[in-house]
Chains A and B, each alone.
Chain A
Amino acid sequence: MKTILPSATEESRQLAVRYGYDEWLVSRFLQYVPRVQEFLEKMDKEPTQYIRVNTLKTSAEELRERLAAKGFVLGQTNLPEVLSVSAAPMSVGATSEYLLGHYYVQDVSSCIAVDALDANPDQTVLDIAAAPGGKTTMIAQRMKNTGCIVALEPNARRARSMSFNLARCGVSNTCVLLDDGHKVAKLGMKFDRVLLDAPCSCEGVIARDATRKTSHEPSDVEFCSNLQETLIEAAASVVRPGGVLVYSTCSFAPEENEAVVQSLLQRQAGFSIEPIKCGVSGLTSFQNIDFGSAMKNTRRLYPHLHDSTGFFIAKLRLG
């Protein structure tokens, strides 16, 4: 889908200069990000760090006690296994608990996507574009290391890195295939759950990487959107009837989110969008494009509203 570029306004010009963004990006944010100035302020601050307890090895209660004894101050989130880190006497990646795989450093938004997947023991799950394995290891713990996860990662180096994370977390129900998400049909099987955390323009992680304020172009959004449309179609083709497909990105761009979900719904019958507890509703329209009222069930997570990285999540059930 072609990137929609709203006309520049005095407000978009001023905000772009003040916060150091390309103007085209701010003029778009003004169309779909609520309370834009608060958002831009938040993106200039250090993002909150989160850890996800690896329940294959420990409990949230035990980990809290151990890390508190080392001086960490942890808070609860909407998900019982995800803790926010408000004070840390050392890097969260430098504790023995981390090395022993008792937790994974992972943003709460990623964990909400896995929560929406609702993976259960003994199911068969496909995780597309899986490296470095944060979501995969969380799915494995939700499945209590039973059933089977097929994780696809086309990049050999990233797949190797993922294998270390799987090993550290004690995951034994997962295999990693060096493959592209477009080729899922050749696996010759259907899955109870499919997670597609799609490659995206990463607008939602500007707080972690400020170069993204100026480093990407409208054509990047279009490129990602086209890629995502083909990936979601491939992913949807291997969902078992009654099964769930979760589509997520760390972008706010409607062309990469609601438009991609809409393209799937138009091309493949039988999918419906199910509600998700966290976040705010997805867009039902953007400029002159109508996404339909069902798109309200998709979710957007905004850094300034939800203290997470920016994220979009859609939960689609077949039949």
Chain B
Amino acid sequence: MKYRELTREEQTTVKRAFDRWGIFEFLSDKNLVVSEGDQKKICLLSPALASLLPKFSPEYAGLVIGDLKKGFTPSMPGADLFARHAKKNQYYISVNDNAEQLVLYGRDVMGDSISLASDTLDENELVIILNRKQEAIGIGRTRFAGKSIFQKGRITITTLADAGLYLRNEG
């Protein structure tokens, strides 16, 4: 795998995304690189690993915190990191215990299982799905805007990725 520093344009895209997710301050002084395989991925590295990277051609390096296509999309390890360190904003929604189990099996989120969400959310927004303990369990996309996100008996958030996905892929 080839690893390289972010271009100026990529830095702008990533920093804008970090700002959106409320994680800009935490990640501003961290070492990030791009891995170029089938997809461009943003990897977080310890400083010592970052300094060693040019010596090797590792297959994997650091923690992949997201993908870079047109914009930056967090990965599950990225969402986990964000949930731990970000100033949480409207892009983080919480679900109840029952929904947590369903999300971890890749199921979508019903409106009545959302325990906390901002009514300023728009339709088609990317959100990080948190459990009751405010831990990232999934990444989703809103199907409705505002208070409609809480509507009963309907799926209001599509689950795009979840913490159980890697295990299902492995199987």
Contacts and interface: CB of A to CB of B under 8 A. Distances in A.
B81 interface: yes
B122 interface: no
A159 B59 contact: yes
Interface in B66-122: 75-77, 80-81, 100-101, 104
Interface string B7-33: 000000000000000000000000000
Contacts of A93: 167
A57 to B, nearest CB: 8
B157 interface: no
A166 B60 contact: yes
A150 B104 CA distance: 31
A99 B48 contact: no
B61 interface: yes
A172 B58 contact: no
A178 B108 CA distance: 37
A87 interface: no
Contact of B77 (A96, A167, A177): A167
Interface in B131-170: 131, 135-137, 163-164, 166-167, 169-170
25 contacts: A57-B80, A93-B167, A100-B136, A100-B137, A100-B163, A146-B48, A148-B46, A149-B49, A156-B59, A159-B59, A160-B59, A164-B166, A167-B75, A167-B77, A168-B163, A168-B166, A172-B44, A173-B46, A173-B49, A174-B61, A175-B62, A176-B60, A177-B57, A177-B59, A189-B55
Given A172-B45, A172-B46, A99 B167 contact: yes
Contacts of A163: 59-60
Given A101-B80, A173-B46, 17 more contacts: A96-B131, A100-B137, A122-B48, A124-B48, A146-B48, A148-B52, A163-B60, A168-B163, A170-B77, A170-B81, A172-B44, A172-B45, A172-B46, A172-B63, A175-B53, A175-B62, A176-B60
A78 to B, nearest CB: 29
A162 B59 CA distance: 11
Of the four ranges (under 10, 10 to 19, 20 to 34, 35 or more), the interface on chain B belongs to 35 or more
A161 interface: yes
Nearest to B57: A177
Q: What does DSSP make chain B's interface, helix, strand, loop or mixed?
A: mixed
Contacts of A167: 63-64, 75-77, 166
A175 B101 contact: no
A243 B65 CA distance: 33
Nearest to B103: A96
A284 to B, nearest CB: 40
B60 A159 contact: yes
Given A96-B131, A188-B55, A174 B62 contact: yes
A147 interface: yes
Contacts of B77: 167-168, 170
A176 B135 CA distance: 27
Q: What does DSSP make chain A's interface, helix, strand, loop or mixed?
A: mixed
B63 to A, nearest CB: 4
Interface residues of A, number: 36
Interface in A110-165: 122, 124, 145-150, 156, 159-164
Contacts of A176: 58-61
A70 to B, nearest CB: 11
B137 to A, nearest CB: 7
A171 interface: yes
In order of increasing CB-CB distance, the 6 nearest A-B pairs are: A175-B58, A173-B46, A172-B63, A175-B61, A148-B48, A163-B60
A187 interface: yes
Given A177-B58, A189-B55, A170 B63 contact: yes
A183 B18 CA distance: 40
Contact of B163 (A99, A150, A171, A173): A99
